[in-house]
Amino acid sequence: MKGIKIGNKQSQYPIIQGGMGVGVSLHNLAGTVSKEGGIGIISMADIGYQEPDFNKNPIQANLRAIEKEIKMAREIAGKEKILGANIMVALNNYKEIVKECVKNKIDLIISGAGIPKELPEYIKGSTTKIAPIVSSLRCCQLIVKHWMKKYNYVPDMIVIEGPEAGGHLGFKAEELEQDKKPKLEQITKEVVEYIREVEKETKKELPVIAAGGIWDKQDIQKFLKLGAAGVQMATRFVPTYECDASEEFKKAYIDAKPEDIKIIHSPVGMPGRAIYNGFIKQTEKEKGKVEKCYQCIRTCKVADTPYCITRALINAVKGDMEKALIFCGSNVSRVKKIVSVHELMQELTN
């Protein structure tokens, strides 16, 4: 397996660890994945939730934590390794977070949960590379053409997130019904074909990454044969010793059964895949009380939201499972035990 080239660096393996927030993929997981030959990704969603002033000043706490997390991840991974950040376009202070990551010399920014139209502007003059997340050929074409026309900038990578991914999904709820669900394989074929033409036109190598429901070495090889340069995997990295989430969070993955996985309606207005636990069932019956707004997502309407998504995700990562939103991928029921990142990378590549 050939690694993924980003700028003047190349990973050992074609595996990107997906950015999982809040707090699931911070410096320990991301740094270790990079050290072990993949590309580790730090989630920037409420990254400062452990800062002492987070409740009073979440925006400043998040910006302050970015420098700390990137620095600690670098110490684990080593300077020669590729380290990335996942930043949602829907974040209220998206521009400031991107610029803080650039300031701290992050190698790669992967950006979805919206269309990152202005992203090339925010990384101008830096060595940071950028990759939009797309869910279809049409979405890919829209972003590529817009960046080329407005900024004369070709994406450095394309990440295709299919309908089997965890967390917020770039599809309408009806598209996620079993008989209407698009296939990641088909989307990958279409995007790869289009990107090959872009590469010919621009003379720039543009790796395509497939994500969503990828589980083992056979899945990885399947998408490499379809023309992808690599894959992004998230669920498999949660039940690792190095994952930054609580032991209770990891145990929820190990205990999950196929019937426990549902598409839910997120407070931020997107469908998302999660473990259908008691907390979610309760909020579907009765609207919870939002005591504090953390100014996280611009699409969240505080007056109407059934619960605070920031608080529910923080509860999950800290291990308060009675009040937790636990995002997961479609294959979470296949998780059986906790392993080290080293063991997992060897299993996926040997």
Q: Which residues contact 123 (CB under 8 A, 6 or more apart)?
A: 98, 102, 109, 130
Closest residue by Cα to residue 180 from 256, 263, 261, 260? 263
Mean pLDDT, the chain, as a whole number? 93
Q: With both helix axes pointing from N to C terminus, report the angle between 184-202 and 217-225 in degrees, rounded to the nearest 10.
A: 50
Q: What is the pLDDT of residue 303?
A: 64
Q: For a pLDDT cut of 90, what percent of the chain falls above it?
A: 79
Residue 72: count of CB within 10 angstroms of its CB = 16
Which two structure tokens, joined as six digits, stand for 303? 């007056």
- Predicted confidence (pLDDT) per residue in 64-76, tens digit: 999 999 999 999 9
Q: Does the pLDDT of residue 292 top 80, yes or no?
A: no
Whether 24 shows a pLDDT value over 80: the answer reads: yes
Given this model, what pLDDT does residue 269 score? 77
Q: Is the pLDDT of residue 297 over 70?
A: no
Summarised one tens digit per residue, pLDDT across range 173-229 is: 777 776 678 899 999 999 999 999 999 999 999 999 999 999 999 999 999 999 999
Q: Are 184 and 164 in contact (CB under 8 A)?
A: yes
Pair type for strands 158-161 and 129-134: parallel
pLDDT (0 to 100) of residue 302 = 66
DSSP 8-state code for residue 287: P
Burial label for 338, CB within 10 Å (0-12, 13-18, 19+), is middle
Burial letters for 322-335: b for 16+ Cβ neighbours within 10 Å, e otherwise? ebbbbbbbbbbbeb
Highest mean pLDDT of the ranges 200-209, 263-272, 290-299: 200-209
> What is residue 170's predicted lDDT score, i.e. its pLDDT?
83
The average pLDDT across 9-21 equals 95
Q: Which of 9-23, 190-204, 258-272 has the lowest mean pLDDT?
A: 258-272
Decide: 158 and 204 in contact? Cβ < 8 Å: no
Percent of the chain with pLDDT over 70: 95
Quote the pLDDT of residue 293. Answer: 66
Q: Which of 210, 321, 309, 229 is CA-nearest to residue 275?
A: 321
Q: pLDDT digit string (tens) for 215-241?
A: 999 999 999 999 999 999 999 999 999
pLDDT tier for residue 135 given thresholds of 50, 70 and 90:
very high
Mean pLDDT score, 46-71: 94
Residues with Cβ within 8 Å of 106's Cβ and at least 6 positions away in sequence, in order, are 42, 70, 83, 84, 85, 128
Confidence at residue 16, expressed as pLDDT on a 0 to 100 scale: 98
**Per-residue pLDDT at 301 exceeds 70:** no
Given this model, what pLDDT does residue 295 score?
Answer: 66
Mean pLDDT of 314-338: 95
Give the pLDDT confidence score for residue 21 in this predicted structure: 81
User: Helices in the chain by DSSP H: which ranges?
Assistant: 27-35, 58-77, 94-103, 119-122, 137-151, 184-202, 217-225, 247-255, 278-285, 309-318, 341-349
Confidence at residue 324, expressed as pLDDT on a 0 to 100 scale: 93
In this predicted structure, the answer to whether residue 334 has a pLDDT above a threshold of 70 is: yes
